[in-house]
C-alpha cells in the first residue's frame, strides 16, 4: 500500500525537495478540515505553478495516484479531507493576486489567495468583491470556488458562482483548460465554469480564477435589532424583504448565541432578549440613510424591542467580529458540533426555528441556530460530545430529522458548505438517483480514473 | 428516410391528433429561426404536459428519433432549427405561469411562457424579473433558458442564468429530473441547473422553471446622450462604470442606427450627431435623481453634446421602442444580416468600434453596431444580399475577421445568442479542443443516442 518511493522521487523532481513531504507530523496537519474528520494522506505536495500541477496530475494518472486539492482546510463537510489517502495538493504557494483591472472590474488570482486579502486589495482601489464567508480571514479563494462559498452578503449580492467569470484548471489527465470569459456576458458552449464551481475539487484543479468586481459602495450602515422572541425575529426577516429594499446582510442569532457572545458585544443584552438581527445596508449615502430609517420603522412595527445603529465603522466591526466569533465559541457548550447549513424559503424560517427547538428537546442536545436569515440559510449547530456513544447516536438522528424537515419545507440540505463526506448519504434524498447518475457520468468524463478527490459528493 | 407512420400514430396517441402534424406548410413554419436558416423537420408535436414530453422522448429513444425543442424561434444562431430533420417539439401549449410566491420572491413557469408576460405578471405584484432581451414580447422563457439570454439590463442585474434557481427537465431517456433549489442558496452536488442553462436544448427538455425575483425598483430614469463621435461615446461608457453607480442599462447606437430609427424618436438628431447612448437608472427615487445628475455631469465632461432625460414613462418607452425596432428596421439596408453578439472588455469598446468601421471599409458591406455597451456586448450587424455570391463571401470573411479581433481583444464570440449552428465552427478558436471534448462527453452522459437537437454547439 501507499505511494511507491519512486513516485515521490518524481514528485520531488517536479516541485522541489522542500515542497514534498511524507513526515507523519506534516501529514497529520493536512489530514482534516473544520469538521474534525481526519484521514492521513500518504504524502503532501506544495506546487508552485500550474505547470507543476499539470506534471503532478500526469504522474498521478500514470500511477493511478489519488490527488486531493486543498486550500486551508476550513471546509465544513470534509471536502478537502483525503478520505482515501493519496496525495494532498496544497495551494498555499500559489497565493498571488495576478492583476486587478480597474477599468473592466475584474481581478485575476491564484487559488491560494486568502479571501480577505482579495477584499483588501480591491477595496483599496475603490472596488468590491462581495462574497464574504465567515472564515474569510483564513479561507482561500480556491476553496471558495470548490464549495461555492456564500456568506452574509449573499442576500443582495449572491454567492461565489455569481462572481466567477472564468477559470484556468488542470484536468486529471494533466491537460490545462481555460473556461469562461473575462467579460460580463458569455455563452460559448456548456457552462464548464459553473460546473467546476461547487464541484469540490473532484473535476479539476483550479489554477487561476477571474472574478467580477463591483464599484465599492459609498456608504454602509449596520444595525442591531433585538427581539423577545425568535419567532418575531424570523417573521421580521421575511417582512423586510418585501419593502423594495434589499439589505446586503440580514443575519440572526438565537438566545443561545447571544449568551455565548455577550462579552464580545459593545452593548448589554437584557434578560428578556431572545434574538438579535444584524441588518446591513449599503449604497449611495442618502439612500442608505433613508432605507435605514424605513427598516427601523418596520422593525418596530414588527415588535422589535430595540434598534441600534452603529455610529462608526469600528462599532460595526465589533458587531461583525462578535458574529464571526460564534463558530469557535460554540465549543464552550460541548466538545463537538455538527454545523449544518440548511436553507429554507424565507417565509418558512419561523417554522424551521420551531423545528430546531423541537429537535433540541427531543434529542436532549443543545441546538444553536444562527445564520444568513436574509436568504433562508440557517446554520444549525448540534452540540455533543463524541466520546459519549449515546450522544453521537442522538446527534446522528437529530441531523436526519433536521434534513428531512428541511426538505419537507422546500429547502436544501446545503446552502454553502457543499456535500463533501458528511452530507453524501443524504444527497439522494434531495436530488434523486437519476441526477446522481448524471453527476457520476460527468465525473467520469473529467476523471475517468477516479483519481481526483474520490469519495466526495457521491460514491 | 423520414419517420415511420407507426411512430406518428404513437405520437398522436400521446399528444392527441390535433397536436401532431406532418403538413408541409406547417413543417415550414417550424423550420427556421431569426437567422433565416431553414431546414424542414419530419414532423411537429405540441405536447401539453411534462408527462407527454417524457413519453415522446421514451418513444424517440426507442426509435432513435431526433427531437428538437423550440419556443417561438426568435433565436439568432440556429439553436432551434431542426438541422438534421426529425421532430420539432414546440412548447407553445405549455405556457402557464404556475405560481408567483411573493413572500419568497420566486416564480414557477412553464417553458412556453412569453418573457414579457412574466414581466407583466410579476410587476403587477410589485416584483421584478430583470432579464429583458429585445425580443421579450415574442420570445419564450424556455428559449431564454436554452440560450442564456441577456439583454440591456445585464449591466446591473446579470443574465438569465443568474435568475434560474431550479429546473424540471426531461432527459432524452424520458426520465424526469428536478435540479437546483427554490431558495437563494444551494450547492447540493454538481450544478446541473446552470449546465442546462445555455445548453441550447441539447441535454434535456426543460418543462418547468423556478426563477428568482427581486422587489420592483421604485423609480426608473431614462436618459438619451448624444455625441459627435462614436469613440467619445464608447469612452464615456467605460468612464460611467467607474463612478460607483451601476446603471441598469447602458446601450449605444451608432450613426447608421440613428438614421434608421430617426422616425421612431421623439427628438431631432442633428447632422453632427454620430452616436447615442441610452442610460437607464433604477432604485430608490432620491438616489436615482442624484445618480442621474452625476451621470449627466460626467457625460458633459466626456464631451457629450446633449443629455436628455425622459420626463414621463411614455417618453422613456418611446426611446426603448426605437431601440427595440432596430433589429427589424435593419432590413431597410439590405435583405440579409448577420447579427453577431460579440463581447469585449468595456475599455476595449473604442477599439472594437474602430475594428467594425475598418471591416465596413474592407468588406464593402454596411456594418451597423448597437448594443449593450455597459457590459461590452456589441451587436455587429453585417448587412448583405444573399443572392449576391460575392457579397456572401465578403460577409463570411467579415465575420471571421470580427471574431478573430474579438478574441484578440480578450472577448467572446457570443455574449447571449449562443453557438447554435452559425458559430459552431468558431467555437474551437475560443475554447479549444480539450473543452469541446469535455462538452461532447457531457452530451453523451445526458444523451447517449444523440437524439436531442444534434448538430449544435459542436459536432
CB contact under 8 A, A147 and B187: yes
Least confident of A157-166, A250-259, B358-367, B449-458: A250-259
Count of helices and strands (H, E) across chain B = 14, 18
Residues 6+ apart with CB under 8 A from B396: none
Tens place of pLDDT for every residue, chain B, 459 residues? 578 999 999 999 999 999 999 999 999 999 999 999 999 999 999 999 999 999 999 999 999 999 999 999 999 999 999 999 999 999 999 999 999 999 899 999 999 999 999 999 999 999 999 999 989 999 999 999 999 999 999 989 999 999 999 999 999 999 999 999 988 899 999 999 999 999 999 999 999 999 999 999 999 999 999 999 988 998 898 788 777 788 999 999 988 899 888 888 888 888 899 999 999 999 888 889 989 999 999 999 999 999 999 999 999 999 998 888 888 888 888 889 898 999 999 889 989 989 999 999 999 999 999 989 889 999 999 999 999 999 999 999 999 999 999 999 999 999 999 999 999 999 999 999 999 999 999 999 999 999 999 999 997
What pLDDT is attached to residue A438?
98
Tens digit of each residue's pLDDT (9 = 90 or more) over B383-396: 999 999 999 999 99
Final residue of a domain: which of B176, B196, B215? B215
**Domain limit, last residue, from B293, B327, B361:** B327
- Whether B262 and B281 map to the same domain: the answer is yes
Of A284, A410, A419, the CB nearest to B290: A284
The CATH number of residue A346's host domain is 3.30.70.2740
In this predicted structure, the answer to whether residue A230 has a pLDDT above a threshold of 60 is: yes
Residues 6+ apart with CB under 8 A from A286: B286, B287, B290
β-strands B306-309, B205-212 pairing: unpaired
How far is the alpha carbon of A268 from chain B, nearest alpha carbon, in Å? Answer: 33
**Does residue B117 form part of some domain?**
yes
The answer to whether residue A243 scores a pLDDT higher than 80 is: no
Quote the Cα angle for A369-A373-A379, to 5°: 35
Q: For the residues A54-80, what does the mean pLDDT come to?
A: 97
Pairing of strands A164-170, A176-180: antiparallel
Q: Please report the DSSP string for A89-152 in residue order.
A: EE-TT---EEEEETTTTEEEE-TTSBHHHHHHHHHTTTEE-----TTTTT-BHHHHHHHT---T
Q: Do A279 and A373 fall into the same domain?
A: no
User: Do B161 and A284 make contact, defined as CB atoms within 8 angstroms?
Assistant: no
Residues B210 and B101 in one domain: yes
Domain assignment present for residue A446? The answer is no
d(CA B458, CA B424): 6
Three-state DSSP string of A172-224: CCCCEEEEECCCCCCCCCCCHHHHHCCCCCCCCEEEEEEEECEECCCEEEEEE
pLDDT at A237: 85
In 3D space, the residue among B203, B197, B82, B215 whose CA is nearest the CA of residue B142 turns out to be: B197
In angstroms, the first-to-last Cα distance of chain A is: 22
Residue B420 lies in a domain: yes
CATH code (residue A140): 3.30.465.10
In degrees, rounded to 5, the angle at the alpha carbon of residue B184 between the alpha carbons of residues B182 and B188 is 70
Residue burial A121-145, b: 16+ Cβ < 10 Å; e: rest: bbeeeebbbbbbbbbbebbbbbbbb
Q: A211 with A223, same domain?
A: no
SS3 label, residue A289 = helix
What does pLDDT average to over chain A?
94
Residues B2-54: pLDDT tens digits? 789 999 999 999 999 999 999 999 999 999 999 999 999 999 999 999 999 99
Which residue(s) pair with A337 in the sheet?
A383
User: Nearest CA of chain B to the CA of A355: how many Å?
Assistant: 18
Quote the number of domains for chain B: 4
Higher pLDDT, A431 or B271: A431
Alpha-carbon distance of B191 to A412, in angstroms, equals 13
A–B interface: beta-carbon pairs under 8 A: 281
Final residue belonging to a domain, choices A260, A294, A327: A327
Q: Residue A39, class by beta-carbon neighbours within 10 Å (0-12 exposed, 13-18 middle, 19+ buried)?
A: middle
A77, B94, B171, B175 from A432: Cα distances, Å: 20, 25, 14, 11
How wide is the angle at C-alpha A150 spanned by C-alphas A145 and A153, nearest 5°?
135
Residue A402 is assigned to a structural domain of this protein? yes
Side-chain-side CA neighbours of residue B142 (13 Å): 31
Give the distance from residue A204's alpha carbon to the nearest chain B alpha carbon, in angstroms: 12
Q: Taking each helix axis from N to C terminus, what angle separates B50-63 and B5-15, rounded to the nearest 10 degrees? A: 170
Q: Are A199 and B190 in contact (CB under 8 A)?
A: yes
pTM here is 0.96
Q: Are residues A81 and A136 in the same domain?
A: no
Same domain, B210 and B223: no
The domain that contains A249 carries what CATH number? 3.30.70.2190
Q: What per-residue confidence (pLDDT) applies to A265? A: 82
Q: How far apart are CA A81 and CA A337, in angstroms?
A: 17
Q: Pick from A148, A176, A434: which is nearest to B177 by CB?
A: A434
Based on the domain organization, do B237 and B308 belong to the same domain? yes
| Chain B nearest C-alpha distance from A423 (Å) | 9
A268: DSSP letter: -
- Contact across the interface for A244 and B217, Cβ inside 8 Å: yes
Structure letter (DSSP) for residue A431: H
> Which chain B residue lies closest to A288 (C-alpha atoms)?
B287
Query: What domain range includes position A14?
Result: 5-90
Would you say residue B269 lies in a domain? yes
Whether B456 is in a domain gets the answer no
How many angstroms separate the Cα of B103 from the Cα of each of A12, A76, A416, B384? 57, 30, 22, 51
CB-nearest partner of A184 from B284, B376, B410? B376
Is there a contact between B184 and A103 if contact means CB atoms under 8 Å apart?
A: no
Q: Is residue A273 part of a domain?
A: yes
Tell me what pLDDT residue A422 has: 95
Q: Which residue has the higher pLDDT, B105 or A266?
A: B105
Residue B441 inside a domain? The answer is no
Cβ-Cβ contacts under 8 Å, A175 against chain B: 434
**Same domain for B318 and B388?**
no
Nearest-CA distance from A413 to chain B in Å?
A: 7
Asked whether the beta carbons of residue B158 and residue A162 sit closer than 8 angstroms, the reply is: yes
Which of A188, A246, A284 has its CB closest to that of B291?
A284
pLDDT of residue A309: 95
* Confidence (pLDDT) at A1: 56
Using a CB-CB distance cutoff of 8 angstroms, which residues of chain B are in contact with residue A195?
190-191, 194-195
The answer on A260 and A197 residing in a single domain is no
My answer on whether B284 and B261 are in the same domain is yes
Smallest Cβ–Cβ distance between A183 and the set B158, B287, B376 belongs to: B376
Kindly state whether residues A227 and A321 are assigned to the same domain.
yes
CATH at B16: 3.30.43.10
Contact B186 A215 (CB under 8 A): no
| Whether residues A148 and A186 fall in one domain | yes
Q: Residue B1: what pLDDT?
A: 56
Amino acid at each position: 500500500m501507499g505511494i511507491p518511493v519512486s513516485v515521490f522521487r518524481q514528485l520531488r523532481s517536479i516541485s522541489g525537495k522542500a515542497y514534498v513531504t511524507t513526515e507523519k507530523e506534516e501529514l497529520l496537519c493536512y489530514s482534516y478540515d473544520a469538521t474534525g474528520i481526519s484521514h492521513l494522506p500518504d504524502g503532501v505536495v506544495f506546487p508552485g505553478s500550474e505547470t507543476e500541477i499539470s506534471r503532478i496530475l500526469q504522474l498521478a494518472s500514470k500511477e493511478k495516484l489519488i490527488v486531493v486539492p486543498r486550500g486551508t482546510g476550513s471546509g465544513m463537510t470534509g471536502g478537502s479531507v483525503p478520505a482515501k489517502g493519496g496525495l494532498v495538493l496544497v495551494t498555499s504557494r500559489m497565493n498571488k493576486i495576478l492583476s486587478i483591472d480597474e477599468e473592466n472590474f475584474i481581478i485575476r488570482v491564484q487559488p491560494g489567495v486568502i479571501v480577505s486579502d482579495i477584499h483588501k486589495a480591491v477595496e483599496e482601489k475603490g472596488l468590491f468583491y462581495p462574497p464574504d464567508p465567515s472564515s474569510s480571514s483564513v479561507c482561500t479563494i480556491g476553496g471558495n470556488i470548490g464549495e461555492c462559498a456564500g456568506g452574509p452578503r449573499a442576500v443582495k449580492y449572491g454567492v461565489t458562482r455569481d462572481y466567477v467569470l472564468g477559470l484556468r484548471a488542470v484536468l486529471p489527465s494533466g491537460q490545462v483548460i481555460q473556461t469562461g470569459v473575462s467579460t460580463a456576458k458569455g455563452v460559448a458552449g456548456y457552462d464548464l465554469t459553473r460546473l467546476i464551481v461547487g464541484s469540490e475539487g473532484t473535476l479539476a484543479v483550479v489554477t487561476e480564477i477571474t472574478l467580477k468586481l463591483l464599484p465599492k459602495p459609498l456608504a454602509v450602515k449596520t444595525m442591531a435589532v433585538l427581539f423577545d422572541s425568535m419567532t418575531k425575529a424570523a417573521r421580521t426577516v421575511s417582512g423586510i424583504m418585501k419593502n423594495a429594499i434589499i439589505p446586503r446582510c440580514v443575519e440572526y442569532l438565537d438566545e443561545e448565541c447571544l449568551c455565548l457572545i455577550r462579552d464580545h458585544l459593545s452593548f448589554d443584552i437584557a434578560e428578556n432578549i431572545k434574538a438579535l438581527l444584524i441588518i446591513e445596508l449599503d449604497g449611495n449615502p442618502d439612500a442608505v440613510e433613508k432605507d435605514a430609517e424605513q427598516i427601523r420603522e418596520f422593525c418596530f412595527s414588527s415588535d422589535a424591542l430595540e434598534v441600534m445603529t452603529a455610529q462608526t465603522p469600528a462599532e460595526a466591526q465589533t458587531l461583525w467580529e462578535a458574529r464571526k466569533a460564534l463558530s469557535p465559541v460554540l465549543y464552550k457548550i460541548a466538545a463537538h458540533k455538527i454545523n449544518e447549513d440548511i436553507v429554507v424559503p424565507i417565509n418558512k424560517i419561523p417554522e424551521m426555528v420551531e423545528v430546531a427547538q423541537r429537535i433540541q428537546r427531543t434529542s436532549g442536545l443543545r441546538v444553536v441556530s444562527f445564520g444568513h436569515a436574509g436568504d433562508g440559510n440557517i446554520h444549525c449547530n448540534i452540540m455533543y460530545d463524541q466520546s459519549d456513544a449515546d450522544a453521537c447516536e442522538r446527534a446522528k438522528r437529530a441531523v436526519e430529522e433536521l434534513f428531512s424537515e428541511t426538505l419537507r419545507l422546500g429547502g436544501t440540505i446545503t446552502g454553502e458548505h457543499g456535500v463533501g463526506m458528511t452530507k453524501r448519504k443524504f444527497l439522494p434524498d434531495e436530488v434523486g438517483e437519476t441526477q446522481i447518475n448524471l453527476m457520476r457520468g460527468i465525473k467520469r468524463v473529467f476523471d475517468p480514473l477516479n483519481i481526483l478527490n474520490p469519495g466526495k459528493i457521491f460514491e
